[in-house]
Structure 1
Amino acid sequence: MFKTLLLTVDVNDLKGSEKPAEAARHMALDYGAELHVMNVVPDYGMSIVGAYFSKDHNKAILKEAKAALESWAQQTLKDVPDLRLHVDQGTVYDLVLKEAEAVKADAIIVGAHKSQLKDYLIGPNAARISRHAKQSVFVIR
Structure 2
Amino acid sequence: MYTNILVPVSFEADRNAQGAMEIAKALRAEGGKITCLHVMESLPKYATEYLPPDHLDRAKADILETLASLVAHVPNAETMVVSGHSARTILEFAGQESNDLIIIASHQPGMQDYLLGSTAAKVVRHAKCAVHVLR
1:35 corresponds to 2:34: yes
Q: How many residues align?
A: 133
Aligned to 1:5, the other structure's residue is in SS state strand
- Please say if residues 41 and 62 of structure 1, whose CA atoms lie closer than 8 Å, have aligned partners that are also in contact: no
TM-score (norm 2): 0.80
1:26 shift after superposition = 2.5
Alignment of 1:1-141 (within 5 A): 1-13=1-13, 16-28=16-28, 30-44=29-43, 49-54=44-49, 60-65=55-60, 67-119=61-113, 124-141=118-135
Aligned to 2:109, the other structure's residue is in SS state coil
Please give the alpha-carbon distance, in whole angstroms, between the structure 2 residues aligned to 1:41 and 1:58. Answer: 16
**Matched-pair identity in %:** 23
1:131 shift after superposition = 0.3
- Please say if residues 15 and 107 of structure 2, whose CA atoms lie closer than 8 Å, have aligned partners that are also in contact: no
More deviation in 127-136 or 1-10?
A: 1-10
Please give the alpha-carbon distance, in whole angstroms, between the structure 1 residues aligned to 2:27 and 2:70. Answer: 14
Q: Higher strand share goes to which structure?
A: 2
Please give the alpha-carbon distance, in whole angstroms, between the structure 1 residues aligned to 2:4 and 2:53. Answer: 29
Please give the alpha-carbon distance, in whole angstroms, between the structure 1 residues aligned to 2:56 and 2:13. Answer: 16
1:103 shift after superposition = 1.1
Please give the alpha-carbon distance, in whole angstroms, between the structure 2 residues aligned to 1:106 and 1:4. Answer: 6
- What is the RMSD computed on CA atoms of the aligned residues? 2.7
Unpaired stretches in structure 1, ≥5 consecutive residues: none
| CA spacing shift, 1:90–1:74, aligned 2, 3 Å | closer
| CA spacing shift, 1:87–1:107, aligned 2, 3 Å | same
